[in-house]
A and B are shown apart, each in its own frame.
Chain A
Amino acid sequence: MAHSSQPIRPIHFILGGSAFALLLLLTLGTVIALWWHAETSVALTPSDWSIIQFTIVQALASASISIIIAIPTARALSRRNFRGRQIILTIMGAPFILPSIVAILGILAVWGRSGYISDLIANFGVGPINIYGFGGVVLAHVFFNIPLATRIFLQGWSAIPIEHFRLSAQLGINTAGITRHLERPMLHAAVPGAFLLIFLLCVSSFTVALALGGGPKATTIELAIYQALRFDFNLAKASQLAMIQFALCVVLGGLTILLSKPIHFSQGLDRKVERWDAHEIQYRIFDVFILTIVCLFLFLPLYSVLIRGIIPLFTLPATVWVAALNSITVALLSAIISVAMALTMSALIIRLAHKYQTASQAMEIVSFLTLAASPFVIGTGLFVITFPFISPFTIALPVTALVNAAMSLPFSLRMILPAMIRAESHNGRLADSLGMQTWTRFYIAIWPRLRQPVGFSAGLAAALSMGDLGVITLFAPPDVATLPLIMYRMMSSYQLEAAAGVALLLVSLSLSLFWIFDKGGRLEHNLR
């Protein structure tokens, strides 16, 4: 944890504490609300246990494979500087924000029975390939999560001061040595957190797992929750299953904190990395190879989304553009809330770490809870909590923004907390000795080092919020829709082509928002 011995001021408690309380309300609060509302209690059946088992096993496999592929991808991206690198990095964000139904059809356009690969191998008289089953589930989840893991590790690489690489070059340390002394310790710190994030994302997968899993064997806890809420109106069971998801999260979160060994690189001057060691031909070939494979894997399904949507995009009805405006508003709001929560929580976590380590760690684990939370439970729980006091229609967009913000908080916190810890340990004490106070201290000593992760987090939060159907389904008044909602409505009215146009619009807008924020965060770095 941080070396900072910053005093805890009331402001930290108030801001960080309220962010934390909000998070608890959305996660545990909504589950308790459902539990309270339920009249009965139930026991889990054997089939529930096999659902839990499937959920865990597929999530473990998906998270492991995503990380195994993401490590060399991130390394290649970190030590190669080529034209188009930035574009690749931006587009790589797309799979992560695709609405599930778009992702399913995109993946099948490549891997399906009538997909690109099956068409290709049909020329040789083989196929078609059948991906439905456990493999299909893992493939889809890996598709979603390689980009996330790659970005996390890339952040790790960029946290290694360039001076270390220069020193290594001067000392003649080869690539293997750099791996041992710089990269491995960095990964040791980054992998457990990334693993937990991806694991939890895969736990709460629902439509994708079922559609590519080939049948009810591929039932996840999330589907069981949906069934309990919608089909059986069994609130007790829904809240019970939601608690199991939380328990998984807490157990794994605890393990992560135990396993991840925080590292502290000394301070650098934030210059551009030049990797003299990786000029050797075998490393070049390997990096080109891995980047080509990963880009093909990630971009082919996106290409199908583009092809499908490009023509209908120009004939979309006016309501779609109104919905687009709603979505952008919600996304911006959600980005601001998410970053504000992450900043205030980080400040509190760092200050608590000094004296109350357990409390600080508990807060970190709780910050993961939203990932394990079922959107259905959050939506229904919030509905139960707010309905007696206020019409759901009047709060549809703010509530959607809030829930989306909470959903992206685990990512924002994962980006911002380590950066703040580094900033505190590098600049914090100097700032204190100069007598800088709260805002000045933050603005001059801490903020410059937070710009980049804050830009990235805001971009990610905005993009995630754009693509997420969220709780709007429960709260939307008749005349207010967001892009994902309108897309699902189109699909259920046979308007598959128009829906493909909306999907493309959605992805393009999400990526643009992401790009703008991310670019904004890196602006100063480029100027230097």
Chain B
Amino acid sequence: MNKLTILAAGLTLALAIPAHAQDLPKLTVYTYDSFVSDWGPGPSIEKAFEATCECDLDLVGAGDGAALLTRLQLEGTRTEADIALGLDTNLIARANATGLFTNYANRPERLDVPITWTDDTFLPYDWGYFAFVYDNTKISNVPNNFEALIAMPDDFKIVIQDPRSSTPGLGLLLWVKEAYGDRAPEIWAGLAPKILTVTAGWSEAYGMFTDGEADMVLSYTTSPAYHIIAEGDETKSAAKFDEGHYMQIEVAAKLASTDQPKLADQFLEFMTSNEFQSIIPTTNWMYPAVIPTNGLPKGFEKLITPSKSLIISADKAQMVRDEALAEWLTALSQ
């Protein structure tokens, strides 16, 4: 390549940046990595919001939900972030304790989340149920609760994620604790021989499952929707457990240190709007916090509906977590 070509390439690059982007107010949203990826909701949401807000929306991926909070704690009030999007109910207590967040301006008229939402700082944008996903062409005798799972034959194996490093892993920990209370250690001891391995993150576990390494993997009831809608593959199902399924509610909040408080509120309002919400189901593969006017996408009706929704309130989750984690470690380290 000669110098002229390089120069030309450089100029093209420079010109490609829209000139007006610099003059518009900038709203910075910290979120998790899969939200901003090309396959996540990020690109569509950025386009939709920028079409109405007269602003430049910057979506920044910062690991996963917990890593995102860590990042904000490190940055403190000097953060460039105006909004944090992607924490879940288990992180709310820790997030509140930082004092970095402030209340949202307007409560949406309606929220289709299975519990009554009372929090004034954190606002849900989607939710889902944790569940074990399996291949319905390989397994006919599907366990319908944890005790049935324990009673499965010896060679029936599941892969789960570590609650110390993964959100679904923590979800399972709280699921067992909420469903079984003091019996949780006994359930974990029973599950131990069924657990092929524990992975640090969701991706390794899901990859191992799709490679046929394990019979079931801890994921979401909405995971099969991805395979049905995006791949036309109906072989993946979630096992319905009669204890109920633990919920994950994903939330966003405004940083108290924001220099764009109005724009931030505008974004939070947009977040529960029809436009944002109709993007969520087939990009984030979760249930929208407000059912879009056209309903859920085709394919979602094939998913299981838990008979009971389990959740530990944000203020208790931290305490329960520590106790449950100790029980988990003891049971699985035998």
From known contacts A112-B211, A478-B59, A493-B40, infer whether A230 and B67 are also in contact, taking CB-CB under 8 Å.
Answer: yes
Whether the Cβ atoms of A231 and B165 lie closer than 8 Å is yes
Q: Is the CB of A211 within 8 A of B74?
A: no
User: Which of B109-117, B202-210, B248-256, B259-267 sits within the interface?
Assistant: B202-210
Interface segment out of the listed B190-198, B300-308, B309-317: B190-198
User: Would you list which residues of chain B between 148 and 206 have a CB under 8 Å from chain A?
Assistant: 157, 162, 164-165, 192, 195-204, 206
B235-287 with Cβ < 8 A to chain A:
285
Q: Which residue of A lies closest to B166 (CB)?
A: A231
Assess the A387–B203 pair: CB atoms within 8 A.
Answer: no
Q: What are 15 A-B contacts with C-beta separation under 8 Å?
A: A101-B204, A112-B211, A113-B213, A207-B200, A215-B197, A217-B332, A217-B333, A383-B74, A473-B62, A473-B63, A492-B202, A493-B39, A494-B226, A495-B37, A496-B207
| Cβ A387 vs Cβ B74 within 8 A | yes
Q: Is B200's CB under 8 angstroms from A206's CB?
A: yes
Other than the given A216-B332, A478-B58, A494-B230, 12 more pairs (CB < 8 A) read A104-B208, A105-B207, A112-B211, A210-B162, A215-B333, A216-B333, A231-B66, A387-B74, A474-B62, A490-B39, A492-B37, A494-B39
- Name the CB-closest residue of B to A387: B75
Task: Annotate A180-213 by CB proximity to B: 1 below 8 A, 0 otherwise.
Answer: 0000000000000000000000000011001111
> Given A114-B211, A478-B36, does the pair A230, B200 have CB atoms closer than 8 Å?
no
Within the assembled complex, what's the spacing in Å between the Cα atoms of A222 and B279? 37
Of B94, B226, B329, chain A has the most CB atoms within 10 Å of the CB of B329
In contact, B285 and A211 (Cβ under 8 angstroms) = no
| Chain A residues positioned under 8 Å from B78 (CB to CB) | 387-388
CA–CA, A1 and B196, complex, Å: 50
Q: Are A476 and B61 interface neighbours, CB within 8 A?
A: yes
A490 surroundings in chain B (CB, below 8 A): 37, 39
Q: Is A477's CB within 8 Å of the partner chain B? A: yes
Contacting residues, chain B, for A226 (C-beta < 8 A): 164-165, 200
Q: Which residues of A contact B47 (CB under 8 A)?
A: none
Question: Is B33 engaged at the interface, CB distance under 8 Å to the other chain?
Answer: yes
Whole-angstrom distance between the Cβ of B199 and the nearest chain A Cβ? 5
Nearest CB in chain B: distance from A239 CB, A: 13
Query: Which residues of chain A are near B144, meaning CB under 8 Å?
Result: none
What's the Cα separation between A264 and B173 when bound, in Å? 59
A488 contacts chain B at the CB level, 8 A cutoff: yes
User: With the chains together, A383 CA to B78 CA distance in Å?
Assistant: 13
User: Which residue of chain B has the shortest Cβ distance to A130 in the bound complex?
Assistant: B196
How far is B205's CA from A108's CA once the two chains are assembled, in angstroms? 12
Docked pose: A491 CA to B200 CA in angstroms = 14
Q: Is B71 an interface residue (CB 8 A)?
A: yes
B211 contacts A105, C-beta separation under 8 Å? yes
Kindly state the separation between the CA atoms of A384 and B73 in the bound complex, as whole angstroms: 11
Residues of A within 8 A of B (CB): 37, 47, 50, 101, 104-105, 108-109, 112-114, 132, 206-207, 210-217, 223, 226-227, 229-231, 233, 317, 319, 380, 383-384, 387-388, 391, 473-474, 476-478, 485-486, 488-496
Q: Contacts A101-B207, A108-B213 hold; do A384 and B74 have CB atoms under 8 A apart?
A: yes
Residues of chain A within 8 A (CB-CB) of B297 are: none
Given contacts A207-B200, A233-B69, A319-B38, contact A489 B164 (CB under 8 A): no
Write the nearest CB–CB distance from B35 to chain A, whole angstroms.
9
Chain B residue contacts of A213, Cβ below 8 A: 197
CA distance A227 to B226 in the complex (A): 30
Q: Which of A229, A490, A494 has the most CB of B within 10 A?
A: A494
Asked if residues A112 and B213 are in contact (CB atoms below 8 Å), the reply is yes
Which 5 pairs show the lowest CB-CB distances between chains A and B? A491-B203, A492-B34, A489-B37, A493-B39, A114-B212
Q: Across the interface, which residues of A come within 8 angstroms of B34, CB to CB? A: 489, 492-493
Decide if B328 is an interface residue (CB 8 Å cutoff).
Answer: yes
* CB-defined contacts of B197 to chain A, threshold 8 Å: 132, 210-215
The CA-CA distance from A210 to B71 in the complex, in Å, is 24
Contact present for A223 and B60 (CB under 8 Å): no
Nearest-neighbour CB distance to chain A for B65, whole angstroms, equals 10
Q: Flag if A211 contacts B213 (CB, 8 Å).
A: no
Residues on A with beta carbons closer than 8 Å to the beta carbon of B206 = 491, 494, 496
B284 (CB) vs chain A CBs: closest residue:
A493
Chain B's closest residue to A487 (CB) is B203
Question: Which residues of B have CB within 8 Å of A112?
Answer: 208, 211, 213
- Residues A496 and B210 in contact in the complex (CB < 8 Å), given A210-B198, A215-B332, A223-B162: yes
* Given A233-B69, A477-B60, A207 contacting B204 (CB threshold 8 A): yes
In whole angstroms, how far apart are the Cα atoms of A109 and B40 in the complex? 28
Contact check, B199 vs A207: say whether CB atoms are below 8 A apart.
Answer: yes
Inter-subunit contact B74/A492 (CB<8 Å): no
Q: Which of B38, B60, B75 has the most CB of A within 10 A?
A: B38
Q: Are B75 and A211 in contact (CB under 8 A)?
A: no
Would you list which residues of chain B between 35 and 73 have a CB under 8 Å from chain A?
36-40, 58-64, 66-67, 69-71, 73
B204 and A104 contacting across the interface, CB-CB below 8 Å: yes
- Chain B residue contacts of A492, Cβ below 8 A: 33-34, 37, 64, 201-203
A223 & B164 in contact (Cβ 8 Å cutoff): yes
**Closest Cβ–Cβ distance, residue B86 to chain A (whole Å):** 12
Determine the distance from Cα of A37 to Cα of B198 in the docked complex, in whole angstroms: 32
- List chain A residues, Cβ under 8 A from B70: 229-230, 233, 380
Contacts of B36 in A (CB 8 A): 478, 489
A233 touches B94 (CB 8 A): yes
Given the complex of chains A and B, what is the CA–CA distance between A223 and B329 in angstroms?
A: 14
Residue pair A223, B211 in contact (C-beta under 8 Å): no
Which residue on chain B has the smallest CB distance to residue A50? Answer: B333
- Closest residue on chain B to residue A489 by CB atoms: B37
Nearest A residue to B200 via CB reads A207
Q: Known contacts A223-B162, A388-B78; decide if A474 and B196 are in contact (CB<8 Å).
A: no
The answer to whether A214 touches B63, judged by C-beta atoms less than 8 angstroms apart, is no
Rounded to whole Å, the gap between the CB of A49 and the closest CB of chain B is 13
| B234 interfacial contact with A, CB 8 Å | no
Could you tell me the distance between the alpha carbons of A14 and B35 in the complex, rounded to whole angstroms?
A: 46
A478: chain B residues at CB < 8 Å are 36, 58-61
Contact B208 A105 (CB under 8 A): yes
Q: Please, how many angstroms separate the alpha-carbon atoms of A217 and B192 in the complex? A: 12
- Give, as a whole number of angstroms, the nearest-CB distance from A161 to chain B: 44
Residues of A within 8 Å of B223, CB to CB, are 494
Q: Which residues of B contact A491 (CB under 8 A)?
A: 203, 206-207
What is the CB-to-nearest-CB distance from B326 to chain A, in angstroms, rounded to a whole number?
Answer: 9
Q: How far is the CA of A227 from the CA of B62 in the complex (A)?
A: 16
CA distance A179 to B329 in the complex (A): 49
CA distance A227 to B322 in the complex (A): 13
The answer for the CA separation of A154 and B64 in the assembled complex, in Å, is: 42
- Using Cβ atoms and an 8 Å threshold, which residues of chain A touch B39? 490, 493-495
For A476, the chain B residues whose CB sits under 8 A away are: 61
Provide the residues of chain A in CB contact with B75, threshold 8 Å: 387
A227–B66 alpha-carbon span in the complex (Å): 10
Q: Which of B33, B40, B66, B197 has the most CB of A within 10 A?
A: B197
Q: For residue B212, which residues in chain A have a CB less than 8 angstroms away from its CB? A: 113-114
Residue of B nearest to A226 (CB): B165
Q: How far is the CA of A319 from the CA of B38 in the complex (A)?
A: 9
Return chain A residues, CB-CB under 8 Å to B214.
Answer: 113
Shortest CB distance A351–B (Å): 40
